[in-house]
Structure 1
Amino acid sequence: MEALQEVQTIVYQFGNKTADGNSKMKNLLGGKGANLAEMSAIGVPVPPGFTITTEVCTEYNRLGKDATIKMLEEDVAMSITNIESIMDAKFGDSENPLLISVRSGARVSMPGMMDTVLNLGLNDEVVQGLVDKTNNERFAWDSYRRFIQMYGGVVLGMKPESKDDIDPFEEIMEHLKEKRDIQLDTQFTVQDLKDLVYDFKDIVKKRTGHDFPTDPWEQLWGAVMAVFDSWNGDRAIYYRTMNGYPADWGTAVNVQAMVYGNMGENSGTGVCFTRDAGTGENVFNGEYLIDAQGEDVVAGVRTPQQVTKLGSERWAKLAKIEEADRLENYPSLEELMPSIYEELKQYQDVLEKHYRDMQDMEFTIQEGKLWILQTRNGKRTGAAMVKIAMDLLKEGLIDEQECLLRIEPNKLDELLHPIFDPRALKMANVIAQGLPASPGAATGQIVFFADEARMYKNTILTRIETSPEDLEGMNLAKGILTARGGMTSHAAVVARGMGKCCISGAGALKIDYKKRVLTVDGKEYHQGDWISLNGSTGNIIEGKVATMEPELSGEFAQIMTLTDRYATMEVRANADTPKDAKIARSFGANGIGLTRTEHMFFEIDRIRAMREMILADTVKGRKHALQELLPMQRSDFEAIFEVMEGLPVTVRLLDPPLHEFVPHQLATQKELAEDMHISLAAVKNKVAELEEFNPMLGHRGCRLGNTYPEITEMQTRAIIEAALNLKEKGITTKPEIMVPLVGTSNEFIEQEKVIRETANKVFKERNDSIEYLVGTMIEIPRAALMASEIAKRADFFSFGTNDLTQMAFGYSRDDASKFLPVYIEKGILKVDPFEVLDQEGVGQLIQMGTERGRDTKPDLKVGICGEHGGEPSSVEFCHNTAMNYVSCSPFRVPIARLASAQAAVRAAR
């Protein structure tokens, strides 16, 4: 504790156009705190406050509440005094009260994942002082009601624990609304609000056994500690795990003077974006509410209005609202408060140019005065991310390298999934319209609760409105649909961050949670019924809608062209079929890094010949069966080589154990015995003979080829003959034959001998030849250790990181799911090593294998073909290891291309 105080400041102040911190201090001040400091320093009207650093959060988790408060007391007291001086009010004073907000602020945006408390500092005496100070009794009691409700949930733990629980505060409010026959919170009278405060305090006493705290300082410390606690809440942990954010980052705490959007008709609050977060269009947009506080906008309990006139007209068109009705009931901020709008528009322009990125801003209007509460780089869809980056480049705000670094590789995945087929959309039955909160196409079965999102393979989470508690279900669902909320609601913002299709504010939907029924225009849709969401238009469609494959075009294609300018490491694809190869090439693959030949043997017309080969007792019998497979293999290779004309194609020889190809069901064994004219007992005996205790370490890979060299002969002949056939057609091929699972140099030498002898034999028969390479997959730790020996004969290395990870850790990939989640939760491992390359351990083997191989053969071609080949941080590791290429699944090729370019840019910098 003392060491932390000695090292650096732990509380940073901002306000009145000065600040202790700046936007470069996000790791220490969190994103919100760093940006508040930056805005204050450049003259943006920010309510004054202070930030408690992320490192204090880490200390809190180690030291506990009392020691952390003692550490902070002096600095926080000084900072509160500074706020009092700027705002000319006093914290806890009953005559001239200062109220504050307490908010979280991690170094990355985590919308709704952690906790906030507003209007802190109120009690029965202070609320009367607020009445006298503002001459607005309704505002003061509404603030008090909100404070008790928020503090009760966040600090005192009075939140619903499951979907079957009812928020006690909401239950009291709903009961009063029914009694008074009103619909909205804004319709409560002053007496209603006083009654709510009394009832809220009463339910707090009943639920907790203690009176609601009245000492403002006790309230403050309770809120600060609750924010720290929320860093390790279920929502935050799930969000961190989902995005790969480390648990030791911690959250900052931001304490600010309250400004009020709920002081009447000349006050309000809103959220705005400097560009469209869904499409990337360069259009200022946002939503606001009159006589409201910030949480009201994102909670979706009231229909928000649009900030701009253009946005309001677009919204009205989607909502099918007549222009006269729009003007009277839903005017834009631009129309209702033109001077405030112009000021807000000016600040959004200033902030975007200052940060050189699209901004997500929160603002409050207090009795005609504009305050900016927050700015941050806005969450956006993959399509918007690409367009915004390219537009900022064209506008001269960023250069090409910065443009590349602005793209989050994994978010490109959103652009690589199927979209609705326009022909199918013409036939679609649109049942309702909502707001296109997050683009995309989603088809799934209706579920109404987040914890039921895994009930079906494809689900549409359908809610009146979402909350942070719904996060896991939102992540599992294919799409999200809400009856309430706008473009800045919780559902919209979180969905865009996840890249999920989302339609919000579909007012025609009537949702009955108890019956699990969605009703639209009198027609009922039950849990499990299929619906489709067009997140680009807001259309809600009955049933399934056919999809089609995406393509590289527009700004996406421009980004990919830019990657080629900077990337020094190539990207290949793992592809076993001509279709996969064609997709890979359309996405810009530089070749095929892995073609698995075993997948070609499982088709019905081939598996019989494969089984005949396995059941044969002699070399002659095996060769007879393999002769049947030869033309099939040759045809397969011709098709793939033709698609990849002029580019290298790495073909891995047969790898899995033979028992995978034989039938294990009695009925299928009988069919095979009859087909092969042998006894059922002979089939059973062979199946039993092939059974292994540990197939992963058994008779597979090069061990098969060295035991049955005729298999390697057939596959080599098929590869070479396919290449020669295409050569006759004028098609250039570059085959690379890869020997799997080598652990000793002699294993490779034996296989290489068979391959080269067979190739030379074919060349002699055809009186022609082609260039080809023979290399190996490094997937056994011993192979990495013996790389210098293996490289004497191998033309290339390809690291198979799936098996290399299994063998290095001693984890079975098929069984690791039983303990890996626990390991990650407990911090034993930071990430799943089968998803993100273990650079410390497995990475050492890769570096060692590469260095030792090139010590022997300096021009040795080295690549990676495991699943890690498409994971951005693993791609960067491969770049830094000086690999020639990475290989990944076809749909990950653009992601790997971008990651390769980014690695080159970062290395150059």
Structure 2
Amino acid sequence: MKLSQSIHFLSNTESLKKNIDKTILGIRGRQLNEFSELGLPVVPGIILDASITQALHQNDPMPVLLPLLKKMGTVVKKDFDSAENPLLLKLVISSNLVIANYPTLHNFGLAKNTITGFEEKVGKDFASHEVFFLLRGLFSIQLSIAELQADEIKIGVYKDLLNKISGELKKEKCTETGSAVMDAYQQYLPEGFFNTAEDQLKITIQLISTMLSLDPDNENDVALLIQPLVYGNYDKESFSGKFFSRNIVTGEKKLQGMFFQEKFDEADADGKDINEIKPAYLKQLESIAWQLEDHSKDVREIRFTIEAGKLWLIEQKSVEAKSTIALVHFLLDLHKRGIVDAEYVVKNVKPGQLNEILHPVINTASVKNFQCSKGGIAGAPGAAVGRVYFSADSLIEAQRIARLQSADTRCILCVPASYAGDVKAIEVSTGVLSNEGGYSAHASVVSRQYGKISLVRPDMKIMANKAVIDGVTIKEGDYITLQVPYYGESTVYFGAAELIEPDPKTSGLLDFIALTRSFIQNFHVRANADSPRDAALAISFGAEGIGLCRTEHMFFNEKRINIFREMILAETTEDRIEVLKRLQKVQMEDFYGIFKAMEGREVTIRLLDAPLHEFLPHNEAELEGFIEHLKKAGKKTLSKKALLDEVAVRAEVNPMLGHRGCRIAISYPEIYAMQIRAIFEAAYKLQKEKIETHVEIMVPIIMNFRELKQIAYGKKIEGHAYLGIRALEKEVREKLKAEPIDFKIGTMIELPVAALSAAEIARYAEFFSFGTNDLTQTTLGLSRDDFNNFMPDYTLYDLIDGNPFAVLDPGVRELISIAIERGRLTRPDIKLGLCGEQGARPENIPFCMEAGLHYVSCSSYSVPIALLAIAQAELEKAENEGRKLTPKKVS
């Protein structure tokens, strides 16, 4: 092949012919051609394609190159090998690999006959620096050749030379002129290297070709790109700069970056906001940036140089560091202008990325000088700032004082592990830092439910009112910042960072959710919500109902907890019922608010599940608070010792498998009776207000159909009657003279035995909700709060695949499938959902859809993530089936 057929010229007005094989241009060559086709003001280039680069040390390319260099010089108004206005070149070794270890080769054309002209343009100091830069690139090539030839003597020589040059480049001022530098190093270079620019270029190309021909990893796919260097320090109309095509944190369509007047680049230079550059240049830069965005369908980072008033695009690439808010805004902008369709928008956001858009993000500039510690297990992603407190009570008290003083109320709970009594603190905190458990630990689960941040640091040491991380001591009241990304390494910053708060409306999240929902067919997302506020938030995030209302959380409210403790410690059933009457009123108000907020959507209420002992006082402050409560209420008081004895009597060795859920209902039917009455009082009150309700009452921890049958339909034995849910509903309806409403009774399948006996249970259950947190624990025999202590050993030896409390275990999946199949045999129209934390994980969504579930339920803050995972699964299914999924209108 003739050299002329393999050497190509490109500029903003001249691109390659369509029939040329682009694979032999390398990545950088293809990129240059792409920009050339777009007509962008790219620096012109000459590509020596891969078909000849390995033979150039045996062939002289200069006869073909010289006319093209002259043509190139005309474009940039310089002349190659000119003494007055020299054209200097950069040589880019363009492989097909994204990452290649080839050196940077700049300033070729700096020779004895051109150095003076260059010095007049940029100054002697800068010119000398550029000679050193040229030498560093060339010696790197020569070192590579020596290594490929295993020439130990030359390897040592070139390594020494490179170390010496690196030292010179670090100096602020060069003490020698460019010509003197050339003289000093000529002895290590091919003869006549600095005589003329033409000789220099020829020698360099031949050295590059030699290196490529010797490289055993070179698959004959490396091209060589030659481009002129342009300088932002030529005169007062010269600039350099780097910017993003839009704000990479907020997504605002406004350039973000800096420019530097009379500077080669931004190194050690004071820059100005890119938007303050001369209007004519700004208009050009905006046009380039947004043209590149539309073409690449991505936010771009752009480097440019303006040399003597002429703008040149130097480099542009994707921005990996852009926030999810910026990405979503960008995609919605493309969609609004018809550049992409809705399917493209939905496919190009990873579900996990939405965590970032739902929580504050750190302004990285604010933590530039902060001491920090990296590592840990992400429990609930996001960023949080607050003062550290080491117990729920101390945190709540600190917040109370801060409110009175109009001070900062942001607090972070720092505990070894959290328990039911800590929920009240997690709810009002900004985040939780713990050192036991992991993604599925209590602190992490509750944090996700309340939209808080959770980080587990197993290496943290907690001692009374201080903690130590990486040798840094955190005292009570000290500020820390938690940065917990969904992808990547978590960080604790010691100090208060500046946060950028998200707004679902301005962030583009709500518009994105609407697009996402337009692709969802017959599978839905509900929310785990325990309050009207959570319910309203869930609806705004696209939830189509509540799949889990944990009623036990309602009793941890500081105004209710001591009343609930009264009920637990009541000496007689009659005393217990009297206390329950007081709780029934507040329960009814809870349910009324939730039903009203849900506006006719399904609401699944799980009757009390937590073991009763979890509600009892567990520390000195709680003991004293309860005794004070009894005194104020005029009730019989107990001494601390007597109270501790009562607590001890009710303690359980293994409460997770103990007296909880439906087992409480069997022993204390009056507790569930109170909740049932409150539910239907709320529903019938709303009926009078013409507000529709769809109530689903869920009985937890069922192990056989007899339990559910008794709780749903009641039972009579000699001298005793157990009132079931249906009898209690009728009692309330008749008392309020109301019309019957739609309601369902179902159960949570969270024990293997329940899954296996689903056919019998479905005779009395109108819906199943799979509680996969407990189903995973009881199937695998693993405690979600403790397994992280030994799980690293198991993953080291591949004894288990990942975290079973995040991604459903195959055994758990099989039990779910069995329960679905057997349940449908008995009740074909049974409604099926999954309300464990795994429901929000994108990895589990396809299984849930294929298994025949109707919905998943997750925390309000995870609803958008689940929706996106479902939409992407629907799109993938349609694509695999060779059909186009048309977006539907979403109300």
Q: Same fold (TM over 0.5)?
A: yes
Instruction: Indicate how the Cα distance of structure 1 residues 668 and 588 shifts in structure 2: closer, same or farther if over 3 A, else same.
Output: closer
Describe the SS at the equivalent of 2:340.
coil
Residue 520 (structure 1) aligns with: none
Q: Distance in 2 between matches of 1:692 and 1:350?
A: 67
Residue of structure 2 aligned with 1:458, choices 368, 385, 392: 385
d(CA) in 2 for partners of 1:827 and 1:48? 52
Q: Structure 1 stretches of 5 or more lacking a match?
A: 1-12, 53-73, 90-94, 108-113, 157-167, 181-187, 200-213, 227-251, 313-330, 419-439, 461-476, 479-499, 501-526, 532-541
* Match 2:607 to one of 653, 662, 679: 653
Cα pair distance change 1:689/1:409, threshold 3 Å: same
Aligned residues of 1:15 and 1:48 also touching (Cα < 8 A): yes
SS at match of 1:794: coil
| Alignment equivalent of 2:659, drawn from 699, 702, 705 | 699
TM-fit CA distance, 1:638: 1.6
Q: Which residue of 2 aligns with 1:615?
A: 569
The reply on whether 1:355 has 2:296 as its aligned counterpart is yes
2:688 to 723, 728, 741: 728
How many residues end up aligned between the 2 structures?
Answer: 674
- 1:771 counterpart letter in structure 2: D
- Partners of 2:519 and 2:706 in 1: CA distance: 40
* Residue matched to 1:594: 548
Aligned 8 A contact 1:144 1:197 in 2: no
2:295 maps to a residue whose letter is H
Give the alignment's Cα RMSD to 1 decimal. Answer: 6.0
Tell whether the 8 Å contact from 1:32 to 1:374 is kept in structure 2 after alignment: no
- Decide whether the 8 Å contact of 1:118 with 1:258 is kept in 2: no
Question: Which AA in structure 2 matches 1:265?
Answer: Y
The answer to whether the Cα contact below 8 Å between 1:121 and 1:219 also exists between their aligned partners in 2 is no
Helix, strand or coil at the partner of 2:372: helix
Residues 386 and 479, structure 2, Cα contact 8 Å, conserved in 1:
no
- 1:386 paired to 2:328: yes
Inter-CA distance 871–132: structure 2 relative to 1 (3 Å threshold): same
Secondary structure at the aligned position of 2:518 is classed as helix
Q: Residue type of the partner of 2:586? A: M
Offset at 1:193?
Answer: 12
CA–CA separation in structure 1 for the residues paired with 2:561 and 2:52: 75
CA contact (8 A) 2:527 2:545 kept: yes
- 2:748 matched residue in structure 1: 777
Q: Measure, in 2, the Cα distance between the counterparts of 1:34 and 1:824.
A: 43
1:904 aligns with 2:874: yes
User: Structure 2 regions of 5+ residues with no counterpart?
Assistant: 1-6, 69-80, 82-86, 145-162, 186-203, 377-382, 388-429, 432-452, 454-476, 482-494, 631-635, 714-723, 880-891
Please say if residues 551 and 608 of structure 2, whose CA atoms lie closer than 8 Å, have aligned partners that are also in contact: yes
Paired residue secondary structure (2:104)? strand
**Partner of residue 318, structure 2:** 376
In structure 2, what is the equivalent of residue 633 of structure 1? 587
Greater Cα shift, 449-458 or 683-692: 449-458
Note closer, same or farther for the CA distance 1:83–1:39 as it changes in structure 2 (3 Å cut): farther
| Aligned-pair CA distance for 1:151 | 13
Shift in Å at residue 724 of structure 1?
A: 1.6
SS of residue in 2 equivalent to 1:696: helix
Query: Structure 1 pair 666/414, CA: closer, same or farther in 2 (3 Å)?
Result: closer
Residue 531 of structure 2 aligns to which amino acid in structure 1? T
- The 3 A distance-change label for structure 1 pair 34 and 97 is closer
8 Å contact kept, 1:50–1:79: no
* Matching residue's letter, 2:515: L
8 Å CA contact 1:652, 1:739 repeated in 2: yes
Aligned equivalents of 1:362, 1:333: Cα separation in 2: 18
Amino acid of the residue matched to residue 696 of structure 1?
A: M
Partner residue, 1:763 = 733
For residue 772 of structure 1, report the CA deviation from its aligned partner. Answer: 0.9
The residue matched to 2:873 in structure 1 has which SS? helix
1:668-707 paired onto structure 2 within 5 Å: 668-669=622-623, 675=630, 676-678=636-638, 682-707=642-667
The answer to whether structure 1 residue 302 and structure 2 residue 269 are counterparts is yes
Provide, for residues 624-678 of structure 1, a one-character-per-residue CA deviation record: whole Å limited to 9, x for no partner: 4433322222222122222223121111111112221112335754775784445
* Aligned mate of 1:858, from 803, 825, 828: 828
Shift of the alpha carbon at 1:289?
5.0
**Residue 597 of structure 1: how far off its partner (Å):** 0.8
Q: Could you list the per-position Cα deviations for residues 57-95 of structure 1 after superposition, in whole angstroms to 9, with x for gaps in the alignment?
A: xxxxxxxxxxxxxxxxx9995899999899789xxxxx9
Identity score, percent: 33
Structure 2 residue aligned with 1:233:
none
* Residues 385, 480 of structure 2: 8 Å contact kept: no
Aligned 8 A contact 1:359 1:378 in 2:
no
What is the deviation of 1:598? 0.7
CA deviation after TM superposition for structure 1 residue 896, in Å: 3.5
- Letter of the 2:518 counterpart: R
Alignment of 1:44-55 (within 5 A): none
Of 873-882 and 444-453, the range deviating more from structure 2: 444-453
CA contact (8 A) 1:572 1:589 kept: yes
Hey, what's the Cα distance between the residues in 1 that align with 2:705 and 2:60? 73
> Which position in structure 1 is the counterpart of 2:344?
402
Tell me the distance in 1 between the aligned counterparts of 2:652 and 2:224. Answer: 64
Residue matched to 2:198:
none
> Structure 1 residues 268 and 416, CA, compared in 2 at 3 Å: closer, same or farther?
same
The answer as to whether partners of 1:288 and 1:306 remain within 8 angstroms in 2 is: yes
Shift of 1:881: 4.3
- Correspondence for 1:567: 520
The aligned counterpart of 2:856 is 886
Q: Report deviation, 1:591.
A: 1.9
Aligned ranges 1:53-132 → 2 under 5 Å: 118-119=103-104
Residue identity matched to 2:743: Y
Identify if the C-alpha distance between structure 1 residues 448 and 358 changes in structure 2 by more than 3 Å, giving closer, same or farther. closer
- After superposition, give the CA deviation of every residue in 1:92-124 in whole Å (9 maximum; x if it has no partner): xxx9999766899998xxxxxx997752699xx
Question: 1:49: how far off?
Answer: 8.4
Q: Label 1:848 to 1:357 Cα distance change in 2 as closer, same or farther (>3 A).
A: farther
TM-fit CA distance, 1:402: 2.1
CA distance in 1, matches of 2:651, 2:222: 60
Instruction: Tell me, in whole angstroms, the C-alpha distance in 2 between the residues paired with 1:97 and 1:358.
Output: 31
* Partners of 1:844 and 1:31 in 2: CA distance: 47
Q: Residue 794 of structure 1 corresponds to which residue in structure 2? A: 765
- Structure number having the greater helix percentage: 1
1:128-170 C-alpha deviation (Å, 9 max, x unpaired) = 79988996786775357568999999x99xxxxxxxxxxx999
TM-score in terms of structure 1 length: 0.59
1:803 aligns with 2:749: no
2:697 maps to 737
